[in-house]
Amino acid sequence: MTDSFGQISSHYGDAGIGDRILAALREEGVDIDALTPEILAPIDQFHTRGIVATREHAALAAPHEDMHILDVGCGVGGPARYLASTYGCRVTGVDLTAEFIAVAKMLTERCRLDHFVDFQQANGLDLPFADASFDMVWCQNVTMNVEDKAGFYSEIARMLKPSGRFTSTEMTSGTAGPPHFPLPWARVPEISFLVPQADMRAALETAGFRILEWRDTSADVVASAQRQTERVRYAKLGVGLVAGADMGDRAANSGRSLAEGRLVNVMMLAEK
Ligand SMILES: C[S@@+](CC[C@H](N)C(=O)[O-])C[C@H]1O[C@@H](n2cnc3c(N)ncnc32)[C@H](O)[C@@H]1O
């Protein structure tokens, strides 16, 4: 791994995440041996608008039970468990951050979804699967940490069967100057690699994708940003358990940067 990958993993990883989540659930009277994706949803959806965005994203991508989906940058596995439990599909999650993969496996076993969902630590730029292994590739709020977007998209194209679909929700750069740091995906600018929407589209097309849908979802994110930031700051069961105690400030900076046109949030669907 190059230094930047090490820095990205250190930004996200923390040895105490699993214990922190289980302790908080116990304190709230939750039976940690009978977890469900619904119980975990306030905690395990590490992206703008949380489970609301995941539902919307799934409605756009239309997964179904015959599919095997690859979730690249799966975090602690919230979206992967949601897809498997809601649509009955098989999901494989990969993530750069080893601690997240360990937590993803632990939570999935406690949800008894491990027959449908599996995880392994891997870099999205060098995936440990044969060509054309998956029906769909899913990616939520990951490419902000990926400098080599051309390499990332061509590796995703390699994963897909012919006519397979790639669906992604991402932050891109706005026109009003750099965003305010620290941000959810980077406390410092050195590990944030934002590009304008047009460059992201061009990189996808160069990798062989035909873009079927491209939505600017910034206004929706801005509309819910204050509520989401307050939830992160004050709710006992929140994404801060995964993202760290400073997540409230980072989420606030993300909302403010979107409102000022320094970031643009997009949700897209493309076909190989
Ligand atoms: C903001 S989190 C989103 C996690 C998950 N997709 C979700 O929405 O809950 C970004 C994730 O991308 C992962 N990531 C960043 N760069 C990556 C890469 N090159 N390969 C695989 N995962 C990566 C990070 O480790 C982190 O888990």
pLDDT digits (tens, 9 = 90+) for 129-180: 999 999 999 999 999 999 999 999 999 999 999 999 999 999 999 999 999 9
Q: Tell me: the pLDDT tens digits for 61-111?
A: 999 999 999 999 999 999 999 999 999 999 999 999 999 999 999 999 999
Q: Is 96 in the pocket of ligand 1 (CB under 6 A)?
A: yes
Percent of the chain surpassing pLDDT 90: 93
Q: Where are the domains of the chain?
A: 3-123+130-271
- Mutational pocket test of ligand 1: of 96, 129, 250, the residue with most ligand atoms within 8 Å of the beta carbon: 96
Q: What stretches of 111-182 show up as alpha helix (H) in DSSP? A: 149-159
Q: Residue 163: left (phi > 0), alpha (psi -120 to 50), or beta?
A: left
Q: Is 186 in the pocket of ligand 1 (CB under 6 A)?
A: no
Q: Is 48 in the pocket of ligand 1 (CB under 6 A)?
A: no
Q: What is the pLDDT of residue 2?
A: 55
- Hey, what CATH topology would domain 3-123+130-271 get? Rossmann fold (3.40.50)
Tell me 217's DSSP state.
-
Q: Is 74 in the pocket of ligand 1 (CB under 6 A)?
A: yes
Please, what is the end-to-end C-alpha distance for the chain in angstroms? 28
| Banded pLDDT at 235 (limits 50, 70, 90) | confident
* Cα 242 to ligand 1 centre (Å): 12
Instruction: State whether residue 83 is helix, strand or coil.
Output: helix
| Banded pLDDT at 1 (limits 50, 70, 90) | very low
Q: Is 221 in the pocket of ligand 1 (CB under 6 A)?
A: no
Q: Is 145 in the pocket of ligand 1 (CB under 6 A)?
A: yes
* Cα 207 to ligand 1 centre (Å): 20
Instruction: Kindly report whether the global pTM for this prediction surpasses the value 0.75.
Output: yes
Residue 3 has pLDDT above 80, yes or no: no
* Cα 261 to ligand 1 centre (Å): 24
